[in-house]
With several copies, the nearest count.
Chain A
Amino acid sequence: MKKLINDVDQVVVEQLQGMAAAHPELQVNIAPHYICRAKKGDKVAVISGGGSGHEPMHGGFVGFGMLDGACPGEVFTSPTPDQMYECAKAVGSDKGVLFLVKNYTGDVMNFETAAELVAAEGLPIQSILVDDDVAVKDSLYTAGRRGVGLTVLMEKIVGAAAEAGYSLQACADLARKINLNGRSMGMALTACTVPAAGKPNFELGDNEIEIGIGIHGEPGIQKAAMQTADEITETLFTQIIEDKGYSRTVREWDNNSSQWEEKKLVDEDFAPGDEMIAFVNSMGGTPLSELYTVYRKLDQLCAAKNIKIVRNLIGPYITSLEMQGFSITLLKADAEILKFWDAPVNTPGLRWGM
């Protein structure tokens, strides 16, 4: 393992110290770990978090028009409830706190515990799951679809809505709508190495790739022989576009009854004529040039299905350490979504309009 680190046990802390040095406009808290805006806003506070190793997500998305706070766990390990609780206290007002949570068992359990603590503090709280990874096929026999690329788009769009004065309920509704209209899939050319583990999590031969990879260095759904960029892009695109009617039961907090409520939510299908935000993401070690090779094909495939890409995002935004590979996310976009996508954002990881 060769990495630019000093001590495997200090990687997260030292990265946070680097963030603090580089971005004085952010407040970086070390014990417990969280990054938040320096000033509490009179608005819904949008907070996300998850294991480290996905940079710039989430800490790099804290700032105007996006997140109010981010809670990084150890590398690929969910953060703990005290982080989200302290972060919520730092940025949350009576307008409420919205958690955006990627659907992993650990994240869900830790954020649920945190939500209970925040609610006990008397702050209105809502928690919305992102589960956009079509590589996971059913929710009955698995922990359900994982939260991957769509998280970035959701944080941008919902962050802009909160900035514009949306209520907690309206922000939650928008986030839920985004989740039901966005889907992703990823692949890996190489594995990655968690610093504290010291060796890669799985082995890939010189001619092998993993299809349906998550973002935690776990093996994908299926090993395959190496293929051209066009072939791989078509595989991912087809899986995303043909995925229909995924249904899951999620738990959302009810601020009136102060308890969790189960909700059954069903994806909305993609259809010809849809307008989309297309997001081609690097897993960390894949250079931008290769993403453009992928985008070229994605653009052709969308055109052939009469799907109109109206916005795009191309680059390393939700990564898996130094893993080589990429993911595609498609989000069906209506006027509300596009308006908040286009709204100004100013964070270390995503910036436009200001």
Chain B
Amino acid sequence: MVVTKKQIIDWLDRIAMVMKENREYLIDLDSAIGDADHGINMSRGFSKVQEKLPELSQGDIGTILKTTGMTLMSSVGGASGPLYGTFFMRCGMALAAKEELDCKDVLALFKAGSEGILQRGKPNLGDKTMYDVWAPVIACFETTSQENDQDLAATLSACVEEAEAAMKATIPMQAKKGRASYLGERSIGHQDPGATSSYLILKALWETLDA
């Protein structure tokens, strides 16, 4: 199983749909420990990406992902704008000129993106951010892909489960980065909005490939 360029486009398209569907949900999560805009930011940003997909389909996967990052960077705003912007720009840079991706490429994609988040936001593990999803997902990807002979379907399926658990694991954490950190202990008991959107992004890839 490989990921085609068409599937990357479908993935981005699906993320836009998923962010629209989960707009209120993400707003509610961000209301509890932030400023209630994460759902708005994400759906605005990925709508913009969606608008660009037709013209994007010419380029290679690297270009598609880099443009996605730049589009997010200039349309999302807030903390998640530069973070997801950097995530996708780094993905694009890691996959320059590719027309399809194998299992190792997908790992490279996640690793580059996650590294981007780390550099921009300087989160530590357990700070209750989106990074608390990507770090365990990458670890899971490495283990599972080895165990399953680089079988992308099996690997991704395991990663989605891992991501869901990681997302839920942000609930008991006390936020130390971003807006939620101002709440101190009051941030405990709420799921991190950015971790949730990261989970949704990963799940959208799995759903795209599974369809």
B172 within 8 A of A: no
- Residues in chain A near residue B83, CB distance under 8 A: 109
- Residues in chain B near residue A196, CB distance under 8 A: 37, 40
Instruction: State in angstroms the CA–CA spacing of A37 and B177 once bound together.
Output: 36
Pick out which of these stretches binds chain B: A38-46, A75-83, A159-167, A276-284.
A75-83
- Residue pair B36, A106 in contact (C-beta under 8 Å): no
- Residues in chain B near residue A76, CB distance under 8 A: 35-37
Instruction: State in angstroms the CA–CA spacing of A216 and B78 once bound together.
Output: 11
- Residue pair B82, A218 in contact (C-beta under 8 Å): no
Q: Which A positions have Cβ atoms within 8 angstroms of B?
A: 32, 51, 73-82, 104-106, 109-110, 112-113, 135-136, 141-143, 146, 194, 196-197, 201-202, 214, 216-219, 221
Instruction: State in angstroms the CA–CA spacing of A214 and B33 once bound together.
Output: 12
- Residues in chain B near residue A142, CB distance under 8 A: 176, 181-182, 184
- Residue pair A77, B34 in contact (C-beta under 8 Å): no
- B123: nearest chain-A partner, CB-CB: A105
Give the residue among B79, B83, B121, B184 with the most A Cβ atoms within 10 A: B79
- Residues in chain A near residue B52, CB distance under 8 A: none
- Out of A113, A194, A221, name the residue touching B73 (CB < 8 Å): A113
- Residue pair B36, A201 in contact (C-beta under 8 Å): yes
Instruction: State in angstroms the CA–CA spacing of A110 and B121 once bound together.
Output: 11
- Residue pair B77, A79 in contact (C-beta under 8 Å): yes
- Residue pair A216, B82 in contact (C-beta under 8 Å): no
- Residues in chain B near residue A106, CB distance under 8 A: 77-82, 179
- Out of B74, B121, B177, name the residue touching A32 (CB < 8 Å): B74
B65 within 8 A of A: no
- Residue pair A218, B35 in contact (C-beta under 8 Å): yes
Instruction: Give 13 new A-B contacts, CB below 8 A, not counting A74-B41, A105-B177, A194-B40.
Output: A51-B77, A74-B77, A77-B76, A78-B78, A78-B79, A80-B74, A142-B176, A142-B182, A142-B184, A143-B178, A196-B37, A197-B39, A217-B35
- Out of B37, B120, B121, name the residue touching A75 (CB < 8 Å): B37
Given contacts A106-B82, A218-B179, whether A74 and B36 have CB atoms under 8 Å apart is: no
Instruction: State in angstroms the CA–CA spacing of A19 and B36 once bound together.
Output: 26
- Residues in chain B near residue A135, CB distance under 8 A: 182
Q: Mark B168-180, 1 if CB is under 8 A from A, else 0.
A: 0000001011110
- 13 A-B residue pairs with CB within 8 Å: A74-B37, A74-B41, A78-B78, A106-B78, A106-B82, A109-B121, A141-B181, A141-B184, A142-B181, A142-B184, A197-B27, A219-B183, A221-B184
- Residues in chain A near residue B14, CB distance under 8 A: none
Given contacts A76-B37, A141-B181, A218-B34, whether A105 and B121 have CB atoms under 8 Å apart is: yes
- Out of A110, A201, A217, name the residue touching B77 (CB < 8 Å): A110
B44 within 8 A of A: yes
Query: How many B residues have CB within 8 A of the partner chain?
Result: 34
Given contacts A194-B40, A221-B182, whether A202 and B78 have CB atoms under 8 Å apart is: no
Given contacts A74-B44, A77-B40, A197-B27, whether A218 and B77 have CB atoms under 8 Å apart is: no
- Residue pair A78, B36 in contact (C-beta under 8 Å): no
- By Cβ-Cβ distance, the 7 closest A-B pairs, closest first, are A142-B181, A109-B82, A106-B79, A216-B35, A106-B78, A77-B77, A105-B79
Instruction: State in angstroms the CA–CA spacing of A202 and B27 once bound together.
Output: 12
Closest chain B CB from A284 CB (angstroms): 15
Instruction: State in angstroms the CA–CA spacing of A76 and B77 once bound together.
Output: 10
B186 within 8 A of A: yes
Closest chain A CB from B29 CB (angstroms): 12
B31 within 8 A of A: yes
- A195: nearest chain-B partner, CB-CB: B40
- Residue pair A197, B74 in contact (C-beta under 8 Å): no
Give the residue among A105, A113, A142, A218 with the most B Cβ atoms within 10 A: A105
- Residue pair B179, A202 in contact (C-beta under 8 Å): no
- Out of B174, B177, B182, name the residue touching A214 (CB < 8 Å): B182
- Residue pair A219, B186 in contact (C-beta under 8 Å): yes
- Residues in chain A near residue B120, CB distance under 8 A: 109
Instruction: State in angstroms the CA–CA spacing of A136 and B184 once bound together.
Output: 9
- Residues in chain A near residue B37, CB distance under 8 A: 74-77, 194, 196-197
Instruction: State in angstroms the CA–CA spacing of A341 and B181 once bound together.
Output: 34
Give the residue among A106, A201, A219 with the most B Cβ atoms within 10 A: A106
- Residue pair B182, A78 in contact (C-beta under 8 Å): no
B197 within 8 A of A: no
Given contacts A105-B177, A110-B77, whether A197 and B182 have CB atoms under 8 Å apart is: no
Instruction: State in angstroms the CA–CA spacing of A104 and B177 once bound together.
Output: 10
B67 within 8 A of A: no
Instruction: State in angstroms the CA–CA spacing of A198 and B44 once bound together.
Output: 16
Instruction: State in angstroms the CA–CA spacing of A217 and B27 once bound together.
Output: 13
- Residue pair B181, A73 in contact (C-beta under 8 Å): no
Q: Mark B152-192, 1 if CB is under 8 A from A, else 0.
A: 00000000000000000000001011110111101000000
Q: Mark B130-168, 1 if CB is under 8 A from A, else 0.
A: 000000000000000000000000000000000000000
- Residues in chain A near residue B40, CB distance under 8 A: 74, 77, 194, 196-197
Closest chain B CB from A354 CB (angstroms): 34
Closest chain B CB from A72 CB (angstroms): 10
